[in-house]
Structure 1
Amino acid sequence: MLLGVIADGFTGASDIANTLAKGRPGQGGLRTVQYLGIPDGMAAPDVEAGVIALKSRSIEAAAAVEQSLAALRWLLEQGCRQIVFKYCSTFDSTSAGNIGPVAEALAEALDVKGVVACPAFPGAGRTVYQGHLFVKDRSLNESGLQNHPLNPMTDADIRRWLRLQTTADVGHVDIGVVRQGPAEIEAALQEDAARNRTLVIVDAITDDDLVAIGRAVVSHRLVTGGSGIAIGLAANFVEHGLAVGTGAAAIGVEGPEAVLAGSCSGATREQIEVHRRNHPTFAIDVDAVMDGSITTKDVTSFLLANQGRAPLAYSSCTPDAVQAIQVRFGREKVAKALDDLFAQIAQQLVRAGIRRLVVAGGETSGAVVSALDLGALTIGAEIDPGVPVLLSGGECPIALALKSGNFGAPDFFINAVKRLAGR
């Protein structure tokens, strides 16, 4: 294994696995496998990039650090030359969150300074300019992410945000330096390292900026960022003759389908509205979940009764509604109840023969794939930017699409259902 990724969520893991597998046009990517948690045994010998998906984004920082260091140890045992710590391109974490502590712990374990921190993903509208994170034409704290139910982002200055989470000063490489090319980027990172700065925010507005950053860190043991940071990394191994540059596999399975949505993002709510015009939908009332009047059987019965029509079950609602529910029942209690519900629904659906499963929302995806315990997933073709087809192994493989809440076109759900069948 050449490159190892530690991802703090399951949708994010799929996102960066997709980036590594497809690579740059004309160059190809790496043979990539996504692991749902830390594997028990060694990786297959032909795996060039291994992505470990953790569910660590919203847990206590100390626990996130412990899990991430365990993942690092496994990846180093596989021979990885470079490690990527992948977090969300909207930098989902509170001021007391996990991104800074995990990144610092990994840097300390690898004995490195001047580590790139770049959540930019221009293909999904995420850019970094002068150390500030933007979502399309809005600063992060005005993009709707300030209303995130678990990790509200109230400051677009990610240097300032990281300084609240870390012990060392945070550096910055601005877009002017980035546009001068890889040598200048590397020189700036080395200067920050000499100043004892562990993490360095690096501006990126276009994919070409990310390619330049990727070339600059060709010899770095640790890189951190969103999935976009990996755009230029696969090519480094191909150009040095360490990888052959394969593309993502064309995979899929036929069979019954279902769509589950737990995200409350604006993009997912729009996708639900588009989907419900022509497909059966089941709105999961969270109050009813909390008082037990909606059960797993209610939802699964609806989805199974509508096989062949791309049925959708969702708990998504507006930020105001989410806040009101959290006030009534408590944020953690609501999150656990919904995670448990979606996990049990997924288990019952698969037992009943569902073979194509689309899941929207990072926490929901984590709950679903943890419950299904599918092992290593093969990375297939891209459905929408950042969302590939995933295929489990075994005699009855399951095709999955795990979508971050803010990703995907308005008609994502029906397109995903089709692509999971290889169409």
Structure 2
Amino acid sequence: MKKRIGVVADDVTGANDIGVMFRKGGYRSAVFPLSLLSLCDLKEECEELDAVIIDTDSRFDDPRTAADKVAQATRLLQELPCDRYFNKTCSVFRGNIGAEFDSMQDVLGVSCSMVIAGFPGNGRTTVDGVHYVYGTRLEDSQFRTDPIHPMDISFLPDIMSRQTDRKINQITWEDLDKGLEHVIGKKEELKKQCAYILFDIRHQEDLKLVARAVADEINLCGSSAIGEELPAAIREMCEDGQDPVFLIAGSLTRQSIAQTEYLRGKGYPVITFDTETIFDEEAFSREEERLAGEALKAMKQAPLVLVHSAQQPERVQATKEKGQKLGFTHEEIGKRISGCLCRVTRRVLTETGCRKLVVAGGDTSAAVTGELEIYRMEIGEEIEAGVPAMTGKTNLGEMSLVLKSGSFGSESFLEKAARYV
């Protein structure tokens, strides 16, 4: 799942600016003026958003008022809640920079924040802490004569130090050129020493690298440009330590059989449901417990785990014949099999907290949808012909979901779908 980012912006155009950056990165974003929040239920309005931006309209306030507005907005974002927080300011640091940064830090209880002012797409670059506008030092640019916030110095730490007493340190272009591992190492060391780490940015590649270096940080500050690169960096970070995906298959089509064997051949845990046990209550109960136990154990060790009903023709036929002798209809046999798969699914999702599910088979998909009470499924991108990724809302919470017809999909589809969610 995507991570929700809460943004506090000091003016409406800046709020829109960072909103479009996050949108370019694939995040649904919306702007809410702080002064008008009484007109809506913020939590309800933000349910489907990935970036929630509150405009405080505080750039021209006195520092105390600006800090109070930021504190109020940050607390509202915490109530949603959000995973990360961003204090969006002017790209040349006009406004109440120090007061607003300090205020968000205090509310979040964060000891060190990342500061990125560079916006290469709009000509703002930072080299050795000196800020440039289309190659001209900030103090020599058009912003020197700004009527409200004249920018008469170019060294960003000095601009910040006019408004905050907290220690500022830098990661420069020389650090960036040494690569991601070096930057992360230096960042972690500096976090022990200072309240703010300011990053040089010369071009978009620097932004990409810095986004990867700060993707795990709770609090970022500065201009909007990093917002374009941050979603991809967060996705990459989450994939590196990705939660496992749970897959179930009740389909007996040749496509689903090939997809199951593909996973088995790749070495993924593939757990087979002995469907002949469903006619003896004690054996059936033991089999369900075995399936759940093996799946739960495998989920701790593998990126994806598949539980599937027996698919070999001889075993399928043996189940049918045994059921017929005992007076079970084909429908009753199917319901027993899908019911077990559903109960195992609910238990695995409940006990592991996993919210990533792929289901193969139309009947099985319908049964799982009912079992988990998935009452809303938002259609996402098509993974393969006729099969979309979805975001499901259920009594277990929001989940990433793929429901596949048994006869759809390439041999590698289940692996592809698991990686997608």
> How would you bin the TM-score normalised by the shorter chain?
0.5 to 0.7
Q: Deviations over 1:65-113 (max 9, x none)?
A: 11001111111111210001010111113xxxx1112112211222223
Whether contact under 8 Å (1:90, 1:126) holds in the other structure is yes
CA separation in 2, counterparts of 1:179 and 1:116?
A: 18
Does residue 71 (structure 1) correspond to residue 68 (structure 2)? The answer is: no
Aligned counterpart for 1:154 among listed residues 152, 155, 161: 152
Judged with a 3 Å threshold, the aligned counterparts in structure 2 of structure 1 residues 191 and 237 are, in CA distance, closer, same or farther, namely closer
| Alpha carbons 2:24, 2:228 under 8 Å: kept | no
Q: Does 1:184 align with 2:182?
A: yes
Matched, 1:208 2:221: no
1:114 aligns with 2:84: no
Q: CA deviation at 1:193?
A: 1.9
Q: Distance in 2 between matches of 1:44 and 1:100?
A: 28
Q: How do 1:101-180 and structure 2 match up within 5 A?
A: 101-180=99-178
Distance 1:204 1:53 in 2: 25
SS at match of 2:70: helix
Aligned equivalent of 1:325:
none
The one-letter amino acid paired with 1:178 is L
1:154 is displaced (CA, Å) by 0.4
Q: State the alpha-carbon separation in 2 of the partners of residues 233 and 77 from structure 1.
A: 22
* 8 Å CA contact 2:91, 2:223 repeated in 1: yes
Q: Percent identity?
A: 26
Q: Deviations over 1:390-419 (max 9, x none)?
A: xxxxxxxxxxxxxxxxxxxxxxxxxxxxxx
Distance in 1 between residues matched to 2:97 and 2:122, nearest whole Å: 20
Question: What is the deviation of 1:150?
Answer: 1.0
Partner SS for 1:109 = helix
Unaligned residue ranges in structure 1 (runs of 5+): 24-28, 243-423
2:198 counterpart SS class: strand
Q: Is the 8 A contact 2:216 2:234 kept in 1?
A: no
Higher helix proportion (structure 1 or 2): 2
Within 2, Cα distance between the matches of 1:34 and 1:183?
A: 35
Residue 10 of structure 2: aligned partner: 8
Q: Which letter maps to 2:59?
A: R
User: Which amino acid is 2:57 matched to?
Assistant: K
Task: Tell me if structure 2 keeps the 8 A contact 1:87–1:225.
Answer: yes
2:46 to 40, 44, 48: 44
Q: How does 1:83-102 map to 2 (within 5 A)?
A: 83-93=85-95, 98-102=96-100
Kindly indicate whether the alpha-carbon contact (under 8 Å) linking 2:28 and 2:49 is maintained by their aligned counterparts in 1.
yes
TM-score, normalization by structure 2:
0.53
Which whole-Å CA distance do the structure 1 matches of 2:229 and 2:78 have between them? 21
Q: How many angstroms apart in 1 are the aligned matches of 2:183 and 2:164? A: 23
What does residue 218 of structure 1 align with? 215
Give the distance between the partners of 2:175 and 2:88, measured in 1 at CA: 23
Q: Please say if 1:236 is aligned against 2:236.
A: no
Deviations 1:239-290 (A, max 9, x none): 4379xxxxxxxxxxxxxxxxxxxxxxxxxxxxxxxxxxxxxxxxxxxxxxxx
Q: How far does the alpha carbon of each residue in 1:37-61 deviate from its partner, in whole angstroms, 9 at most, with x for none?
A: 2634223321111111121012111
- Say if 1:126 and 1:136, in contact at 8 Å, map to a contact too: yes
Q: Given residue 183 of structure 2, which amino acid in structure 1 is its aligned partner? A: I
The residue aligned with 2:31 is 34
Q: CA deviation at 1:238?
A: 3.6
CA distance in 2 between counterparts of 1:237 and 1:136 reads: 29
Larger radius of gyration: 2
Is contact 1:114–1:190 with CA below 8 Å preserved after alignment? no
Query: Is the CA contact 2:129–2:157 (under 8 Å) kept in the aligned structure 1?
Result: yes
Q: What is the CA RMSD across the aligned residues, in angstroms?
A: 1.7
Report the CA distance between 1:121 and its aligned residue: 0.3
Gaps of 5+ in 2: 243-421
Give runs of ≥4 in structure 1 deviating > 6 Å. Answer: none
* CA distance in 2: counterparts of 1:183 and 1:34, whole angstroms: 35
Q: Which has the higher contact order (CA 8 A, sep 6+)?
A: 1
In 2, Cα distance between the equivalents of 1:198 and 1:124? Answer: 27
